[in-house]
Amino acid sequence: MRVPFALALGGIVSLVFVAMAGLSYLWTPYDAEALSIANRLKPPSAEHWFGTDHFGRDIFSMIMVGARTSIAVAVASVGIGMGLGVPLGLWAAARRGSWLDEVIMRGNDLVFAFPSLLIAIMIAALAGPSVMNAILAIGIFNIPVFARLTRGGALSLWQREFVMAARVAGKGAARISAEHILPNLANLLIVQGTIQFSVGILVEAALSYVGIGAQPPTPSWGRMLAEAQTMVSFAPHMALFPGLAIVLTVLGLNLMGDGLRDLLDPRGRERTA
Amino acid sequence: MLRYLLIRLVSLTATLIAASVVIFLVMAVIPGNPAVLILGINAQEDTLAALRAELGLNRTLPEQYLAWIGGLVQGDFGTSYTYKVPVAELILDRIWISLPLTLYALALSTAIAFPVGIIAATARGGVLDFGIMGATQLGIAIPNFWFAMMLVFVFAVTLGWFGAGGFPGWDDPLAAIKALTLPAIALALPQASILARVMRSALLETLDEDYIRTARAKGLSRGGMLWRHALRNAMIPVLTILGLQFSFLLAGAIIIENVFFLPGLGRLVFQGITQRDLIVVQSTVMLLVFAVIVVTFLVDLAYALVDPRLRR
Amino acid sequence: MKGLEKQSGARSGPDRARPAPQGGRDTPTLGPGAILSVRNLTLRIAATPILDDVSVDLNAGEVLGIVGESGSGKSMTALAIMGLLPKQAHASGQIMLEGRDILPLPDRAKQAIRGQEIAMIFQEPMTALNPLHSIGDQVAETVRLHTRASRAEARARARDVLDRVGLSGPRFPLTKYPHELSGGQRQRVLIAMAIALRPKVLIADEPTTALDVTTQAEVLSLLTRLVEEDGMGLILITHDLAVVANIAQHIAIMEQGRIVEAGKVDTVFARQDHPYTRKLFAASAHQPDRTMARGDTPVLEVRDLVRDYALPRKHLFAKQEHFRAVNGVSFTLRQGENLGLVGESGCGKSTLARAILGLEPVQGGDIHLNGARVTDGMTFAQRRGIGVVFQDPYGSFNPRHKVGRLVAEPFHLLDDPPGRAERRERVADALRDVGLHADDMDKYIHAFSGGQRQRIAIARALVIRPSVIVLDEAVSALDVSIRAQILDLLAELSAIHTLSYLFISHDLSVVRAITDRVLVMKDGEIVEEGATERLFTSPEHRYTRTLLAASPRLPDRGQTDAP
């Protein structure tokens, strides 16, 4: 099977950022937390590729370390969303039309009325701002995203004749969901997973930017941007590079999602079969 | 139609009630005693007790909830612990920035996305389509607040076409709109990218339908087919996204206000968090959720206008 | 209406490119009276050859049937005439409409012809109408596109045309929407749209395949009437020889992009010169060789079965209403017997099947399988006695599993499921039973054709040797020649294993070929039951007679005299 161009490009870009985050545990060009007043607000140069911030910290090193936060938040929030949303969606579809289905779907509607920012605001008010706050807020918002997607896909699969055949063979709802429904939803979920992953990175940056996400000293792209804001007029590089890091990561993930969709689309495959 | 409306209305009310309960409960379990927060830890026990009684904190939770909701319905949002003024006043001052900003951005997003999406769909597979899809892919990846900072750097700091922030008030509407323009663009572009892609794919999906073939067999041109048959059918998924975008834009507006130092709801709520002014947070969140739910309801109404199958 | 027509004719300027009326009679390339003449049409899409040297003539006031199996190129021929070929298509040859070659015309000129001079209706009435536009608007659109009629004039015309196709004013106002109409009514709207401007040629691509037999008969007679009244030529594209036999004057039989035999219907039916023609006829009238292995033991007994559905509430506080899909149905299926269940869509036959299979709860009556009463939810032991084959060969299998695992699924029902080696052995046996190879178990389902998939579905139903197999429209999606093979296979398996079938179908000719006894179902009830031959030759119930009269039949000569 030919790998779509978008998938290859997106995959490489995403991998680069994961690799940077991994590498940051072992090595960074400079200590990302080392202050150096003498070197403050240096523009990009051979020594400091992306320049330094107002405390003289190396921005490239900070971006490497900040990638950890972005990836951790995205992974954890997609994990929460999938881990709870997919079973709920499968369960609702298996009990279609019952009160359980109704409760799950109305619960979903309710969560959808709270954009993840509002959830984050409430949790921040409750427990104070932190990375965990960002993870929970984005994760909770992801639950109905995956639950709806799963339920919708599962409902149409339950109408398929191969599921009828499995029911005639006496298989129960749980077993059918695991054996026949979930595997046929995998493509859909993987594609949505990459999309929510990139949404997670964007929202984490926004939450950290307004101060209800990552707190010092946890490095974060969003917080770097918050600190850069007042200095945009004389040190634009402080804002430019963390922003580009976000853009590239999200772009890479989205391209990967699109590429995966093209590669895995059952309609496309059915045609070639 | 009436039945559809009624069902939607009931579900709107139910969601509102459920949302208010959630917000109330989250705020009620917050550790720390609001009375202590307000008066400080050195306050006298009898003053604390008096304040607790005044705030209604010595009542049961259901009583407190009903009191809060009853107040909301009458426009009484409680009194801010830090500002010592009614929350309703605070919100009213600030909503005149956040709401126009959201609507401005929504209008911009729609105005950009519709033509771009339609052009991409008609040029399907061509260079123009490829270019548009690439640009929107980039647009989706850009965080709006960072884009806002870049806009400030280019158009305010470097070119000096706009102010870097602040809000002159609505006394001079033109100046007010000008002050909201950069924030609205920053908000709108990423959302417009999403909307344009949805528009394109909805159109392409519709163009594959059997009734499009029927229309062609009638002698309709490709253009006629698009305008008379495909566009209206494609509006159904587009409306869904438009409804979702309202809540994203509203949330986005709260963040963007920080970049431009706009005294909107965002600043109010973030200050509320840092100063533990919980009644402000609680009421603002409720108001925003209310707006989101009402817009969802409006989208449902729009469905019924577009789709005769729902009007029964 | 007449006035409008004149007006529009006068108003359509020279840019309409309407050819001067010439009747085509004196054009040398055309046969006598031919209004449309396809000459040496060859077509490929990208590099795939689709049509090879296709030539047909269509006379005014006549019906030309184009018959072929899927992939024969019959629909592509229609699209080529309409000028609606896909982008990468390359066509050569001529399509002469009243002496003018319309094939090389630019799209704009073809648009002026489409809907006005050549119109087309398609197979799927449920999806062929725009759900957001009223039927009046959709019919009026044809008029407005090609004439300068005002909105009011176009609507008046739409009203007239809808009346003509049998959707009369009071019951079917112009403001109706497609979702308020049945499939047959929607097909009438599509016909109205097509004939609104009295085209010279009407192409109908499988116009009745998605419809019930009685509706099919009505639509076909409507089309015949319109051909007579308007003097237009009708190209009827179908897979069903019997449909053509009943209404067409000329026939062209297509196979793999070629016309293998063409001529007057009577002549072609009588002579059957080409081997493919003979094969098609033989398959259409195929009667599997059935040796009876019938016992008297009842294997499935259904008594007073009732299945109610809760209807959506009319408003929030309305009383819950129910729809009785199956109403007190009783019958007995004996060992080795093939029992047919026929009825039109919505009569409850599929619901009945699903209730018997334990896929739906029942609200009354009881079911005995192999002598034991079937309880709610069905125990494994009960389920073991019954298997099922569904209609759609493409939707019946989980695409992620290999054939071996798919066929082995019913082993789940055994108290003591066989081990891996024995399971493979038994799956291999089942595959061989249905005419496939044991090696096929290691392939994925997409490697198989529709007919092969249906064989695999039968293998799956068969693998634990149930006494009853429910065949729910099991051959309806197959081409006639494949269908004949599957019917043979079913007859053979029934004889070898003394299997009982409950054979559910809307297709009376298939039921007649494969069953011993038939149940006729209407509105949730069995209205007639009887031995197959008796029921088909002397039906008793009025509804059975209607059904039989409506279903198209091949002339006897075709059935028996074929060499």
pLDDT tens sequence across C106-148: 988 999 999 999 999 988 888 899 999 999 999 999 999 999 8
A26 contact B CB<8A: no
Indicate the SS3 state at residue C467.
coil
Q: Which of C409, C463, C400 is nearest to C432 (CA)?
A: C463
Assess whether C215 and C313 both reside in one domain: no
Q: What is the CATH topology of the domain spanning A5-25+59-266?
A: MetI-like fold (1.10.3720)
Residue C18 banded pLDDT, cuts 50, 70, 90: very low
The partner residue sitting opposite B6, judged by closest CB among C128, C129, C316, is C316
pLDDT, tens only, C517-539 = 999 999 999 999 999 999 999 99
Q: Do A110 and B22 touch (CB under 8 A)?
A: yes
The span from the CA of B234 to the CA of B213, in Å, is: 16
C112 contact B CB<8A: yes
Mean per-residue pLDDT, A168-175: 89
Of A41-45, B187-191, B293-297, the least confident: A41-45
Assess whether C436 and C371 both reside in one domain: yes
The span from the CA of A135 to the CA of A140, in Å, is: 8
Stated as kind and residue range, the H or E segment containing C161 is helix C151-164
The span from the CA of B253 to the CA of B95, in Å, is: 11
Assess whether C280 and C305 both reside in one domain: no
Residue C453 banded pLDDT, cuts 50, 70, 90: very high
The span from the CA of C386 to the CA of C377, in Å, is: 14
CA neighbours closer than 13 Å in the CB half-sphere of residue C282:
15
Nearest CA in chain B to A110: B15
The domain ranges of chain A are: 5-25+59-266
Mean per-residue pLDDT, C539-549: 93
Assess whether C397 and C512 both reside in one domain: yes
Mean per-residue pLDDT, B136-161: 91
The span from the CA of A67 to the CA of A20, in Å, is: 7
The residue among C262, C285, C308 that closes a domain is C285
Assess whether B20 and B110 both reside in one domain: no
Assess whether C358 and C448 both reside in one domain: yes
Mean per-residue pLDDT, A226-255: 89
Q: Is it the case that residue B38 has pLDDT exceeding 70?
A: no
Best residue of C309, C354, C386, C409 to probe chain A, by most A CBs closer than 10 Å = C409
Residue C19 banded pLDDT, cuts 50, 70, 90: very low
The partner residue sitting opposite C132, judged by closest CB among B214, B216, B233, is B233
Mean pLDDT of chain A: 87
The span from the CA of C247 to the CA of C242, in Å, is: 9
Classify residue B215: in a domain, yes or no: yes
The residue among B44, B74, B104 that closes a domain is B74
The partner residue sitting opposite A210, judged by closest CB among B29, B138, B255, is B255
CB A220, CB A211: distance < 8 Å: no
Mean per-residue pLDDT, C335-360: 90
Mean pLDDT of chain B: 87
Classify residue C3: in a domain, yes or no: no
The partner residue sitting opposite C132, judged by closest CB among B216, B221, B232, is B232
Q: Do A165 and C395 touch (CB under 8 A)?
A: no
Stated as kind and residue range, the H or E segment containing C427 is helix C420-433
- The pLDDT, as a whole number, for residue C560 is 40
Mean pLDDT of chain C: 86
- Specify the DSSP class assigned to residue A52: B
pLDDT, tens only, B286-298 = 999 999 999 988 9
Assess whether C418 and C542 both reside in one domain: yes
Residues in Cβ contact with C213 at an 8 Å cutoff, skipping those fewer than 6 apart? C344, C506, C508, C547, C550, C551
Residue A51 banded pLDDT, cuts 50, 70, 90: confident
The span from the CA of A61 to the CA of B96, in Å, is: 42
Q: Do A162 and C380 touch (CB under 8 A)?
A: no
The partner residue sitting opposite A165, judged by closest CB among C386, C388, C446, is C388
The strand pair at C118-121 and C201-205 is best described as parallel
User: How close are the terminal C-alpha atoms of chain A, in Å?
Assistant: 12
Indicate the SS3 state at residue C93.
strand
CA angle A158, A159, A161 (to 5 degrees): 100
Classify residue B79: in a domain, yes or no: no
In total, how many domains does chain C have?
Answer: 2
pLDDT, tens only, B222-262 = 888 888 889 989 988 898 889 888 988 998 998 999 888 89
The span from the CA of A36 to the CA of A33, in Å, is: 10
Best residue of A1, A161, A267, A272 to probe chain C, by most C CBs closer than 10 Å = A161
The residue among C285, C306, C334 that closes a domain is C285
Of A175-189, C53-67, C131-145, C315-329, the least confident: C315-329
Best residue of B214, B221, B228, B232 to probe chain C, by most C CBs closer than 10 Å = B214
Classify residue C11: in a domain, yes or no: no
The span from the CA of C106 to the CA of C111, in Å, is: 9
Classify residue B82: in a domain, yes or no: no
Q: Is it the case that residue B53 has pLDDT exceeding 60?
A: yes
Assess whether B12 and B146 both reside in one domain: no
Q: Output the CA–CA distances (angstroms, integers) from residue A127 to A123, A124, B287, in the order listed.
A: 6, 5, 22
C514 contact B CB<8A: no
Q: Output the CA–CA distances (angstroms, integers) from residue C541 to B264, C347, C527, C538, in the order listed.
A: 78, 16, 7, 9
Model ipTM? Answer: 0.87
Q: How far is B87 from chain A (nearest CA, A)?
A: 17
Residue B172: CATH number of its domain:
1.10.3720.10
Residues in Cβ contact with C412 at an 8 Å cutoff, skipping those fewer than 6 apart? A169, A170, A171, C380
User: How close are the terminal C-alpha atoms of chain B, in Å?
Assistant: 5
Classify residue B85: in a domain, yes or no: no
Q: Is it the case that residue C11 has pLDDT exceeding 60?
A: no
The count of CB pairs under 8 A between chains B and C is: 80
The span from the CA of B98 to the CA of B252, in Å, is: 10
Assess whether B143 and B101 both reside in one domain: yes
- Specify the DSSP class assigned to residue C362: -
C258 strand-pairing partners: C255
Residues of chain C contacting B218 with CB distance shorter than 8 Å: 114-115, 119, 141-142, 145, 193
The span from the CA of A265 to the CA of A184, in Å, is: 11
- The pLDDT, as a whole number, for residue A41 is 77
Classify residue B80: in a domain, yes or no: no
The residue among B74, B108, B130 that closes a domain is B74
- The pLDDT, as a whole number, for residue C12 is 37
Backbone angles phi, psi at C475, to 5 degrees: -115, 5
Kindly list the partner chains of chain B, i.e. chains with 3 or more CB atom pairs below 8 Å. Answer: A, C
Q: Output the CA–CA distances (angstroms, integers) from residue B206 to B122, B195, B227, B236, C133, in the order listed.
A: 12, 16, 12, 11, 14
Q: Do A184 and C399 touch (CB under 8 A)?
A: yes
Residue C535: CATH number of its domain:
3.40.50.300
CB C254, CB C68: distance < 8 Å: yes
The span from the CA of C387 to the CA of C466, in Å, is: 6
- The pLDDT, as a whole number, for residue B68 is 86
C85 contact B CB<8A: no
Residues of chain C contacting B213 with CB distance shorter than 8 Å: 84, 122, 128
pLDDT, tens only, C291-330 = 766 778 899 999 999 998 887 766 556 677 888 899 999 9
Q: Output the CA–CA distances (angstroms, integers) from residue B155 to A233, B151, B174, B183, in the order listed.
A: 11, 6, 18, 12
By residue range, what is the domain housing residue C520? 298-550
User: Tokens in use for B31?
Assistant: 């550790």
Classify residue C16: in a domain, yes or no: no
Assess whether C276 and C302 both reside in one domain: no
The residue among C234, C251, C285 that closes a domain is C285
Assess whether C346 and C200 both reside in one domain: no
Q: Is it the case that residue B9 has pLDDT exceeding 80?
A: yes
Best residue of C398, C402, C414, C476 to probe chain A, by most A CBs closer than 10 Å = C398
The span from the CA of A21 to the CA of C175, in Å, is: 63
Q: Is it the case that residue B112 has pLDDT exceeding 90?
A: yes
The span from the CA of A192 to the CA of B305, in Å, is: 31
- The pLDDT, as a whole number, for residue C314 is 60
Q: Is it the case that residue C558 has pLDDT exceeding 60?
A: no
- The pLDDT, as a whole number, for residue C285 is 84
Classify residue B157: in a domain, yes or no: yes
Classify residue C562: in a domain, yes or no: no
Assess whether B65 and B104 both reside in one domain: no
Assess whether C187 and C274 both reside in one domain: yes
Burial C80-116 (b: 16+ CB within 10 A, else e): bbbbbbeeebebebbbbbbbbebbebeeeebbbbbbb
Q: Output the CA–CA distances (angstroms, integers) from residue A147 to A23, A71, A143, A197, C156, in the order listed.
A: 35, 23, 6, 16, 50
Q: Is it the case that residue C430 has pLDDT exceeding 90?
A: yes
- The pLDDT, as a whole number, for residue A262 is 80
Interface of B with C (CB under 8 A): 3, 6-7, 10, 209-211, 213-221, 224, 228-229, 232-233, 306-309
pLDDT, tens only, A67-115 = 999 999 999 999 999 999 999 999 999 988 888 988 898 898 888 888 8
Selection from A240-244, B75-79, C165-169 with the highest mean pLDDT = A240-244
Q: How far is C445 from chain B (nearest CA, A)?
A: 27
The partner residue sitting opposite C145, judged by closest CB among B10, B211, B219, is B219
The span from the CA of C409 to the CA of C413, in Å, is: 8
The span from the CA of B249 to the CA of B266, in Å, is: 12
CB B68, CB B278: distance < 8 Å: no
Assess whether C281 and C309 both reside in one domain: no
In total, how many domains does chain B have?
Answer: 2
User: Tokens in use for C340?
Assistant: 């047919």
CB B106, CB B98: distance < 8 Å: no
Residues of chain A contacting B141 with CB distance shorter than 8 Å: 198, 246-248, 250-251, 254
Q: Is it the case that residue B208 has pLDDT exceeding 70?
A: yes
What is the pTM for the complete model shown?
Answer: 0.84
User: Tokens in use for C171?
Assistant: 């019951």
Nearest CA in chain B to A128: B273
Assess whether C368 and C390 both reside in one domain: yes
Classify residue C271: in a domain, yes or no: yes
Residues of chain B contacting A109 with CB distance shorter than 8 Å: 11, 15
Q: How many other C-beta atoms lie within 10 A of the C-beta of residue A254?
A: 22
Q: What percent of chain C stands above pLDDT 70? A: 91
CB C39, CB C68: distance < 8 Å: no
Q: Is it the case that residue C561 has pLDDT exceeding 70?
A: no
- Specify the DSSP class assigned to residue A36: -
Q: How far is B53 from chain C (nearest CA, A)?
A: 43
Q: How many other C-beta atoms lie within 10 A of the C-beta of residue C521?
A: 23
Residue C3 banded pLDDT, cuts 50, 70, 90: very low
Assess whether C124 and C265 both reside in one domain: yes
- The pLDDT, as a whole number, for residue A2 is 64
Assess whether B284 and B180 both reside in one domain: yes
CB A76, CB A135: distance < 8 Å: yes
Residue B31 banded pLDDT, cuts 50, 70, 90: low
Interface of C with A (CB under 8 A): 354, 357-359, 378, 380, 383, 386-388, 390-392, 394-400, 406, 409-410, 412-413, 446-447, 457, 460
Assess whether B146 and B291 both reside in one domain: yes
The span from the CA of A38 to the CA of A32, in Å, is: 16
Residues of chain A contacting B254 with CB distance shorter than 8 Å: 117, 210
By residue range, what is the domain housing residue B58? 1-74
List, in sequence order, the alpha helices (H) in chain B.
2-28, 34-39, 45-55, 61-73, 87-122, 127-141, 144-151, 173-207, 210-218, 222-224, 231-259, 265-274, 278-306
- The pLDDT, as a whole number, for residue C361 is 87
The more confident residue out of B285 and A32 is B285
C339 strand-pairing partners: C502, C517
CB C45, CB C91: distance < 8 Å: no
Mean per-residue pLDDT, A197-221: 89
Mean per-residue pLDDT, C11-37: 47
The span from the CA of A106 to the CA of A157, in Å, is: 22
- Strand order in C258-264's β-sheet? C118-121, C201-205, C233-238, C63-67, C250-255, C258-264
The residue among B42, B74, B106 that closes a domain is B74
pLDDT, tens only, B163-187 = 878 888 888 888 999 999 999 999 9
C305 strand-pairing partners: C329
The strand pair at C233-238 and C63-67 is best described as parallel
